[in-house]
Every structure is written in structure tokens, then in C-alpha cells.
Amino acid sequence: MVNDLKIKKYWIITLCMVFCSLASFAQECTDSWNRSGEIYFKNEVYGDPKGTLINTGVNITYGKYGNPISGLTYEWKLYDANGTLVDTGNSINFLILLTKAEDYKVTVKVTNSQGCSYTEKIITGRDPNACIVPAEDRFQGSFDIETYWRGIPVNVETPLKLSNPSGYNEANFTFKWKLYNAAGSLISTGIQPTFPVTFTAIEEYRIELEAKDLRGCITNLTQLVTPIETCIYNGGERSGYIATDNSPYNNGLTVYANESNNLSFYSNGKPSESFTYKWELFNAKGVSISASEGANFPMTLPSGGTYMIHLKITDPSNGCETDMVQGILCLITDSCTNDNPKSQKVKALYEDLLVNLISRSIQGETDAQINASAPTAEFIALKPYITNGRKDKIYNYVSKSRNYTEVSGREKITGARFSFSPDREYDVDAVIGWGVGYDSKKTTIEQLKKTIRDSLYTDFGQYMTSEEFITSCKSRYSGEGKMSKKKDGSDLDYCDFGSQIRHIDFCPGTGVTCDPAIIGFIDNRSQTVFTHEDVSFKFTTTATNLTYSWAVALESGEIINTSDPDITVPYIYKFKYEGTYFVTVTAKDPTGCSKTFSRLISVRDTHCENTPYTFKFETADTILNYEWKATDTSGHIVNTQSNTNGTYTFTPTEAGNYEISLATTNAENCVTVFSKYVQITSCGGNPVSCTQNSLLTPKVHSLFISLINKLVTTPNETDVNSYALNEIIALASYTTSSRAKIFNFVNNSTAVSFSFSQNGAENDIFLPKSASGSISGIDLSKYFGSQGTTQVITNYSDGSNNPAGGFVRNIDFCPAVECFPTIGKINISRANGANKSSTSNHSKI
């Protein structure tokens, strides 16, 4: 035992002497530009700057950018893995011979007339009989299989090769390539620097490469590759943006009412003339008002507000398509606030309330205290002009502070937001520059409020209705170039002064002045509307003792039916023809105050079971063979037919949703596939969607809407999967995805969309937004299974709806069983064997 201790003490002293002397050696030198360099040797041509074969002499040298530095003297030292000095040298080249496959250290002290510099390098001895250079060592880890930033398309020959790091020369290597499919079967090999492959299926392939340099040292590389659809691969060829001729830049679409504009697609890929186009313009209610198939789209918008332009771009050379949806903000020059004599009064009352709230925050009241306080005189004065809310107090007040600027120990306040209803995040959002502070010793309350009022900026130039946000924005650096815009959602990040305001009537006398306001929506329980059937409509509201006057109008506005005035029973109407209609109701309370609501209704012809329907394919091509197929929602083929005349008669025996697909083959054996969906109903008039009778549909629909409303509030730069984790997990059991996660999330002022998979050809969810209400539900009457894409009408909390653009898929709205959270415990095992339990709830996935 005594001898062991002596040996350990000896090694400790020895190691200390070695490393201490090395440290001292380094510390006595300093860096200098005229001595700065690096240690290198010839093996760097193999991308192995730290390895050399054992028992083979190699010259180590010192220089900059591969060249020697004049005027230097050298002191070289070589140490083995134990820190033992193995060799020394004093010339520019230092010949070393490594004898073991382990790490060595080379140091050099270079000296000139101004002083000395110290450099060291780890060199690894490599066994020539089993020489492996790890991928992270070869060319500093940049030696890898090239997979291309755009991805690799399916069914297209693609040359696989090594990436091209600095100094790489393929002549210094030999290659062995292997390609495996998803089942693990070897399907191709190669020995050339470039390995051409053709992926024939969209699945995960494994590529293995053994790259051996001329010394015999091997680097093994593995790469997993999943090819993508051709149209996804070349999507960049159809990328671009929509702009007007008056402003041909990608800065959003903003036009003026009654101004002639020409929309064009500005391509980032192929020339714009390479494509064909289908344009369609929708108004704020989601009604299509214009369409064109020209390269340009002439447009004159009749009134201010938000419009949507849909554009389908098709590349005729390959049939690939890209759908674009973009909002158009139409500005006005004749806001009602220009002429309404009470507008300035209401503006002053609004500013009185805002100034009072912000001054209270600056003086030290907390947000919680302000939210709990009784309504102030300023709120009571504004109350008659609040159009939506309880009108009893403000809610959800949040002050915004400048965290790193204080006055008398309090942070400066840069703005505030609040709402008139507890179920809305905000109705007012204001910013006041770089913040206002308060020092009671230097400033009176009156002076503080004047400073706040001078920091407010409100421009009503685009005000049209209290139900939409009116947004004002000004930068302190913009001078007279102030900005004013109206849009939905909060977008004041680049504003030093400004606000967003809704649910305040700044044109009193021109709108609804009911107190309390009548709030509700038109309800049609059957959802799907067919011709020649009695359709019942009612008005859903919390108000009491209302009477109703109903009307049905064509899309053009022509009224085709009215009810008796002031009825209290549901309104029943039978539509004769397929098309789009407006159903309107005027609700009136006992005081005579009234408000009108409108809903867009899509009416379809009734298609009955056991009735033959004939489909015809129209084409200018001749000598075609046709393969027809009818498939139900379960994927079962229920009917097939082959012919050469291009017509197909199908007699459905059961109600449901069917896909009619057609494969055409020409004389050159080129095959093109087309498809069309048709809904068959039982002619008793009841919709056949499973959602009409499933007891679990309301639950899944509620979970889905809860997720949507959570997603639309996701703050900028926030991970949506963390922010909406609980809502995602709650719905995950009813999706076709194997993971409780969403991808490709987009949330802007016009729509919310996302997918349950990472590499889908299109998103699974797309729902348009409304400027005047949150998303309250979707019409699932066309739903016949989770695999197909279901076009839905999007309903909003203000009673309006949008029948265009919305769709869902990969959600089971008619599940066979209900999923409940699984209760369990996570046990943490300690080193002493004790357990600590943590209970957590998780949905079954």
C-alpha cells in the first residue's frame, strides 16, 4: 500500500511538471500578426487535418494560408498521449513518426525580433490496417452526401454525390454506394463518384457510402432521404406574388374604392407567361363577385373593406398547380366620420376613458386592481356608443410597460389594451410612443393626462363600421407621412403611436343604437339545404320578447319571398332552384329598436338513390380508351366500366358520398386521371352525413373549435405546439395522425391553416376569418369521412358565415368510440431506491 501511494504521488508530480511547464511555455509568448499561423501537414488533401498513418514519417510545418512566414525560428516538440516528450526539432519542417493509434500533441514556439508565439495541434495516429476517419473529422464535418435544398423528386433520375467542401478532390477517393428501400432491401449499388438514383415511391430510403482515401482510410456515411411529389418539388417554379400595376411590389394589396386596378402575378420562378390562370374575387361576406381566366385581372371595387382574391396557377407543361389566396384591403375617402357632427364628441369620450386608464397605471395601480374596479365616469359617458358587450365595465385590461426605463422607481407605460366583454381579448389596443412616466414631485395629474393625450394617435379616415377594427399607426420618424389602415387583428409592432378600436360607434345616428344591443344569429339546424324541401330558419339570441320579419333574396339582391311582419315562429321556406341565396331577418324588441341579420345559404339539387346519373367526358382528343370507377367513402369500388365513347351511367343504390374517377388512355398509352365527387341523398330530404346522427360529433366539433380559437390567439414568434398543447392533445385522439402535433401553421388576418403531417401536399385545415366575429363553428353537412377533403361553411360569432374556401380533412367527426384521458403517474427513481410520484393527465393517442 505504501509503494502504491508513492507511485501515485510520483505520477501526479510528473504530470504537473509536464503541463505546468507547457503552460509556462505558452504564457511567455504573445500573438502577433507577423507571427500568426497554424500547424499543418500534407494529409489535409484527404480532408483529415488531424490524422496520419502510424510508422510512416510525415513532415509537420508552420505557416499562414499554406505558405511559410519569413524571419522565424522554430522550437518543435512532440508529446504522446501520456504527455511524455517524444521528439523535438528546430527547422521549419518537423519530421515526426507516430508509433501508436492514439492522440499526440505537437507544439511549436516561433520567434522573431519582436517576440514569440505559441501554437499546438492534436494529431491522431491511424492504423493502416483498420483506418477509420470519422465523418466529423473529415473536412471538419462538412463531408456529407448531397441531398439538395429543394429535396429530390420522385420518378426523376437524380445524381447523388458528396458535398463539395473546401479542398475536396474526388480523385483522392474511391467509393462504394448502396441504396436501400423502406423495407431494407438493397436495390442499387455504385462505385463512381456520382451515384445516379431514381426513387420510385414516396417512402424513406437509406443511402450508405464508404469513401476511402488513397491512404486506405475509410469514412462511412449514411443518409435518409424521402423523395417528394414532382409538383411539390417544382413548386418554386410557380412561386411569386400578386400585385397591382399601380404598385407592382410584394407589399400587400391595398387599393381605393372605385379605383381601376389590374392584378397580375409576378413570378419568382418561370416567366409569368408560362402559366395559365384562374382568378376569382370574393367580397367580405365570401360571395364570389368576379372571375377571369386571363393573365391579368381587371378590378374596380365598389366599397371599402376586406376582399379575397383566389388564384389558381397551372403550368401546362406538367399539369402542376398552385393555389394562392390573398386579402385585398380596399380603402375609402369618404368615411362617415368626415360629416357626422358627433364623431369628434365620441372620439373625445373614448380618449377620456383611455387617458384615465393609462394614467392610473402610471400612478401605480395594478392591472388586477383596475379590472376589479367599478366603472368610472369616463366609461359611463362612453357607454351609449359601445355597440357590443355587457356595458357594465371594462374587461381584460393589460398595461404595457417599458421594462428598462423608470421614473421614480416605476416603469414607463407604453400603452394598454382592454375589451368591453369578458370573452374577448381586446377591443382597444393603444401604443403611446416610448412610454410615459410620472414623478409626483415634478408633475401634476392634469399635466400627466395632457402628456398622455398628446401621445395618442387616432385616425378615422377608414372608419366604416364599429364591428371592424379601425387601425391607426404612425412612426415618430415618418414626419408628415403618417399611416392609417383598417384591418383585423393586432399589428402595431412597427407603430410608435397608434391604436386599434372596435365596438365603438363613431358615427352615432347612422347605425344601431339599441340598448342593450340585439345580438344573435340565423340558425338552420339541418345545415345542408336541398331543393323542393321545407327548410326551417330561426333566430338564436339571448334577448327576449323579440319579433321577426324574414326575407329571402337572390345573390343579386332581388327579394323572392317575405314572411308576415313581426312573427315569433320559425320561418319555413322551400327553395325551387339550386344556387346561392341570402336569408335575412329583422329582429325587433318591444321598444321598437331593431337590427337586421343576414346569412348566405347554398342550395343544392336533390340527388336520389336508385336513380341513374350519366357522366360525360368532354375533350378534343380522339381515339381514347376510358376506364370509369365509382368508389364510396370507405374506399370500396362499387362500380366499374370500360368504353370508348366517353360517357358513364352510374346508379347508386345507397345514399352517401361517391368519387367518380376516370382514367383516359391515348394511342401512345399515356394515362391521365380525372375525378369528381357526387353526393347522393335519401329522397326523404334528410342529409346523409354521419355527423347528423353521431352522438360524438358535437364533442369532436367542440374540441376542434376550441383548438382553432386557441391557435388564432398564438402570439408572434411563439411555438404553436407548446402554446396550444392542451387543445392539440384533446383533439389528437380523433385525428388520423400518429402524433399530437401540427405543422405548416399559418395565422394571419385572413385565415388560419395547418396540417397534421409535415410533408403533406396541402394543409389539412383552412378556415377563412371574419373581420367582425370569431370562428364559432363549421357546417359539416358535407362530411362523409376523414380521408377526403370536406368543403365547409365557416360560421362566426356575429351570426355571419363564409361559404367559400374553408375545408377540413384527417379528422374523424364520427368516431366509433369516445376517448377519455388516461390517468397515470410518472415515478422518479432516486439513487437510494425511493420513488417520487408525479401525476399527469394525457389523452389517449
Of 486 and 232, which is predicted with more confidence? Answer: 232
- Spell 79-111 as b/e; 16+ CB within 10 A means b: bbeeeeebbebeebebebebeebeebbbbbbbe
Instruction: State the pairing for strand pair 637-643/594-604.
Output: unpaired
Q: What is the per-residue pLDDT for 7?
A: 38
Q: What is the per-residue pLDDT for 88?
A: 96
Q: What is the per-residue pLDDT for 760?
A: 59
Quote the radius of gyration of the chain (alpha carbons, Å).
Answer: 37
| Range with the poorest average pLDDT among 170-179, 334-343, 588-597 | 588-597
Per the DSSP assignment, residues forming a β-bridge with 240 are: 267
pLDDT over 90 percentage in the chain: 38
Q: How far apart are CA 789 and CA 783, in angstroms?
A: 8
Q: What is the per-residue pLDDT for 214?
A: 93
Q: What is the per-residue pLDDT for 645?
A: 81
Q: What is the per-residue pLDDT for 404?
A: 61
Cβ-in-10-Å burial (0-12, 13-18, 19+) of 687 comes to buried
Contact criterion met (CB below 8 Å) for 643 and 663: no
The residue type of 505 is D
Distances (CA, A) of 320 to 89, 234, 277, 312, 754: 68, 8, 12, 10, 22
Q: How far apart are CA 777 and CA 673, in angstroms?
A: 35
Q: What is the per-residue pLDDT for 515?
A: 59
Q: What is the pLDDT of residues 557-567, one digit of tens each?
A: 788 999 998 89
Q: What is the per-residue pLDDT for 549?
A: 92
- Taking residues 243-256, report their average pLDDT: 79
Predicted confidence band of residue 405 (pLDDT cuts 50, 70, 90): low
- Crossing angle of helices 725-732 and 697-711, in 10° steps, is 150
Q: What is the per-residue pLDDT for 14?
A: 39
Average pLDDT, the chain: 83
Q: How far apart are CA 227 and CA 510, in angstroms?
A: 60
| C-alpha cell at position 579 | 344556387
Judged against a pLDDT cut of 50, whether residue 839 lies above it is answered with no
Per the DSSP assignment, residues forming a β-bridge with 132 are: 218
Q: How far apart are CA 406 and CA 428, in angstroms?
A: 25
Predicted confidence band of residue 826 (pLDDT cuts 50, 70, 90): very low
Q: How far apart are CA 498 and CA 487, in angstroms?
A: 13
The residue type of 526 is S
Predicted confidence band of residue 102 (pLDDT cuts 50, 70, 90): very high
Q: What is the pLDDT of residues 575-619, one digit of tens each?
A: 887 778 889 998 888 777 788 888 878 787 667 777 777 777 777
User: 56 φ, ψ to 5°?
Assistant: -135, 120
Q: How far apart are CA 612 and CA 609, in angstroms?
A: 8
Per the DSSP assignment, residues forming a β-bridge with 262 are: 298
Judged against a pLDDT cut of 60, whether residue 383 lies above it is answered with yes
End-to-end CA distance of the chain: 61
Segments of 558-636 assigned E as strands: 559-562, 571-574, 579-588, 594-604, 613-616, 625-631
Predicted confidence band of residue 31 (pLDDT cuts 50, 70, 90): confident
Predicted confidence band of residue 18 (pLDDT cuts 50, 70, 90): very low
Angle at 820 between CA 815 and CA 821, to 5 degrees: 140
Cβ-in-10-Å burial (0-12, 13-18, 19+) of 799 comes to buried
Query: What is the three-class DSSP state of 109?
Result: strand
Q: What is the pLDDT of residues 520-531, one digit of tens each?
A: 788 765 456 777
Q: How far apart are CA 390 and CA 398, in angstroms?
A: 19
Q: What is the per-residue pLDDT for 41?
A: 84
The residue type of 226 is T
Predicted confidence band of residue 12 (pLDDT cuts 50, 70, 90): very low
Q: How far apart are CA 356 and CA 835, in angstroms?
A: 55
Residue 347's CB: how many other CB atoms inside 10 A?
A: 18
Instruction: State the pairing for strand pair 38-40/58-63.
Output: antiparallel
Segments of 408-478 assigned E as strands: 410-419, 428-436, 470-474
| C-alpha cell at position 799 | 351570426
Q: Which helix (H) or strand (E) holds 445?
A: helix 445-455
- Residue of 195, 193, 188 lying closest to 213 (CA atoms): 193
What is the Cα 26 distance to its own chain's centre? Answer: 53
| Range with the poorest average pLDDT among 247-256, 357-366, 654-663 | 247-256
Q: Name, in order, each residue with C-beta under 8 angstroms of 555's C-beta and a sequence gap of 6 or more.
A: 287, 579, 580, 581, 582
Q: What is the per-residue pLDDT for 787?
A: 66
- Residue of 308, 427, 417, 409 lying closest to 357 (CA atoms): 417
| C-alpha cell at position 170 | 474526388
Of 511 and 824, which is predicted with more confidence? Answer: 511
- Residue of 607, 664, 662 lying closest to 640 (CA atoms): 662
The residue type of 133 is V
Q: How far apart are CA 565 and CA 587, in angstroms?
A: 10
- Crossing angle of helices 445-455 and 343-362, in 10° steps, is 120
Q: Report pTM.
A: 0.47
Residue 638's CB: how many other CB atoms inside 10 A?
A: 15
Q: How far apart are CA 667 and CA 198, in angstroms?
A: 27
Q: What is the per-residue pLDDT for 21?
A: 42
Q: Name, in order, each residue with C-beta under 8 angstroms of 647's C-beta and a sequence gap of 6 or more.
A: 614, 615, 616, 617
Report DSSP state, residue 23: H
Q: How far apart are CA 111 and CA 820, in angstroms?
A: 76
Tell me the three-class secondary structure of 93-140, residue by residue. Answer: EEEECCCCCCEEEEEEEEEECCEEEEEEEEEEEECCCCCECCCCCHHH
Q: What is the pLDDT of residues 72-84, one digit of tens each?
A: 999 999 999 999 9
Contact criterion met (CB below 8 Å) for 277 and 294: yes
Query: What is the three-class DSSP state of 778?
Result: strand
Query: What is the three-class DSSP state of 728?
Result: helix
Q: What is the per-residue pLDDT for 43?
A: 66
- Residue of 643, 708, 655, 649 lying closest to 679 (CA atoms): 655
The residue type of 141 is G
Judged against a pLDDT cut of 80, whether residue 448 lies above it is answered with yes
Distances (CA, A) of 675 to 298, 609, 615, 664, 763: 32, 20, 11, 11, 20
| C-alpha cell at position 645 | 365513347
Distances (CA, A) of 283 to 280, 357, 600, 804: 10, 38, 12, 10
